[in-house]
Structure 1
Amino acid sequence: MLAYFAAIVLLIATPGPVVMLVVGTAARRGISQGILAAVGANVASLLLITLATLMVFGVVLVSDHLLVWLQISGCIFVSLLAIRTLYGEWRDTRISGDQRPYAATPASQRLPAVFRGFFVGIANPKDVLFFVAFFPQFVGITSNSRASLAILAALWIAVDFTILSGYILACRHPMIQSRQRWITASSAGFLLVLAIAGLAGTVSGDV
């Protein structure tokens, strides 16, 4: 259990697409929206864990070609999300420079933070293969494999949400708040780079 805990802490704490999205959302739209993005990402993780568990027990079989196309779709979505965020920051900078009133995007036209977190969290379906390969190594924590998987999944969600919450709370620091736009733009740029790299790797690997 300690080995599993240490492994997922190191894995989740390493900045990636979800961390960048949550931090960018919290910096731009507030802590509550950052938490909603984290909740969406956790729902995506829970869905992937559930699917991986079903695959472990042979209940579900997933085609490799389907995973490839889902990954391509996810990379495209993340790219569009990052580009939209970068454009919004550029537009806001121009408006501020012209000393015109800030024209906020109507809430109805924004993709809710919880959905943004969910789609970014599930944008790489090959994570299912990671869970399938990773979880079975620790099913020996109890004599019941199903109970073990449930405990491992619950621990993953708890650690994931705790670490993401830590990143969100860090956004309250005055030094971080003073660099809100820089953080948002950097997070979006990082997302775009990851999405392009993921798309290139998927396409080249599939070919």
Structure 2
Amino acid sequence: MTINCALLLAYVASIVLLIVTPGPVVMLVVGTTARRGVRQGVLTAMGANAASLVLIAVATLMVFGVVLISERLLAWLQVLGCIFVAVLASRALYGEWRANGVSSDKGMHVATSQPQRFPALLQGFFVGIANPKDILFFVAFFPQFIGVTSDSRASLAMLATLWMVVDFTLLGCYISAFRHPLVHRLQRRISTLSSGLLLVIAIAGLAGAGLGGSI
């Protein structure tokens, strides 16, 4: 079995750029780590990783012609994903606002005052499964790399494994950064910033879907 090294390197470069670019999943992982600790951040990353497996499975079915994804369905998935992300971000910002009020009154930061208690694993999964960036990649871009080997099934296994490894490694790097004392001291600001950016991403996604007139 021969491997097209140039195509493989192009795939790795593509997924590195896709994952490392801040988006809903990265902002969610960073915000969760800042608010709830490294363990919850890892669980969030695992949920997003599991969502990627589902998207890879859908892309595989599309390659073999088992399923077809309509543009209207993609548009609705984008809208639902943006709404879910917006709700998560809004609740996180509200939690930070409440915690800031408590710390101002009592001189202490109460992280547990946040109302959000949705399991981190499920948060990561639902944001990952409805992430427009990942959906477009797996539906429109992923099938182009099937020719990395002469065996399509071996190619799919290789591409899926590489995605999982790179995805979890890069998200792990974001999480590991919070072990630095300086970053730890700024955790509230980072949490608020990441939640704010997450909300902006969601609003931009909804605006894009509306302007596109695809639903």
Secondary structure of 2:106's counterpart equals coil
Query: Residue 172 of structure 2 aligns with which residue?
Result: 165
Q: State the aligned residue count.
A: 206
Query: Residue 145 of structure 1 aligns with which residue?
Result: 152
CA offset digits 1:106-135 (Å, max 9, x no partner): 99x610001111111122357334223322
Distance 1:65 1:138, change over 3 A: closer
Would the aligned equivalents of 1:42 and 1:121 in 2 still touch at CA under 8 Å? yes
Corresponding position: 1:123 with 2:112: no
Distance 1:188 1:126, change over 3 A: closer
Distance 1:128 1:104, change over 3 A: closer
User: What letter is aligned with 1:142?
Assistant: T
Distance 1:33 1:103, change over 3 A: closer
Would the aligned equivalents of 2:93 and 2:192 in 1 still touch at CA under 8 Å? yes
Corresponding position: 1:184 with 2:191: yes
What is the deviation of 1:68? 1.6
Would the aligned equivalents of 1:71 and 1:126 in 2 still touch at CA under 8 Å? no
What is the deviation of 1:83? 0.5
What is the deviation of 1:185? 0.4
Q: Distance in 1 between matches of 2:202 and 2:160?
A: 26
Would the aligned equivalents of 2:35 and 2:187 in 1 still touch at CA under 8 Å? yes
Secondary structure of 2:66's counterpart equals coil
Provide the TM-score with structure 1 as the length reference: 0.92
Corresponding position: 1:25 with 2:27: no
Unaligned runs of 5+ in 2: 1-7
What is the deviation of 1:170? 0.4
Deviates more, 1:186-195 or 1:22-31: 22-31
Query: Residue 17 of structure 2 aligns with which residue?
Result: 10
Identity of counterpart residues, as a percentage? 66
Deviates more, 1:177-186 or 1:118-127: 118-127
What is the deviation of 1:147? 1.1
What is the deviation of 1:27? 1.3
User: What letter is aligned with 1:111?
Assistant: F
Q: Structure 2 matches for 1:1-207, cutoff 5 A?
A: 1-99=8-106, 102=110, 104-105=112-113, 110-125=117-132, 127-206=134-213
Q: Distance in 2 between matches of 1:172 and 1:3?
A: 32
CA offset digits 1:82-114 (Å, max 9, x no partner): 00000000000000000077383599x610001
- The alignment's C-alpha RMSD in Å is 1.9
Unaligned runs of 5+ in 1: none
User: What letter is aligned with 1:55?
Assistant: M
Q: Distance in 2 between matches of 1:129 and 1:30?
A: 31
Secondary structure of 1:15's counterpart equals coil
Would the aligned equivalents of 2:99 and 2:113 in 1 still touch at CA under 8 Å? no
Provide the TM-score with structure 2 as the length reference: 0.89
Would the aligned equivalents of 1:74 and 1:124 in 2 still touch at CA under 8 Å? yes
CA offset digits 1:58-79 (Å, max 9, x no partner): 1012232222222111111110
User: What letter is aligned with 2:13?
Assistant: A
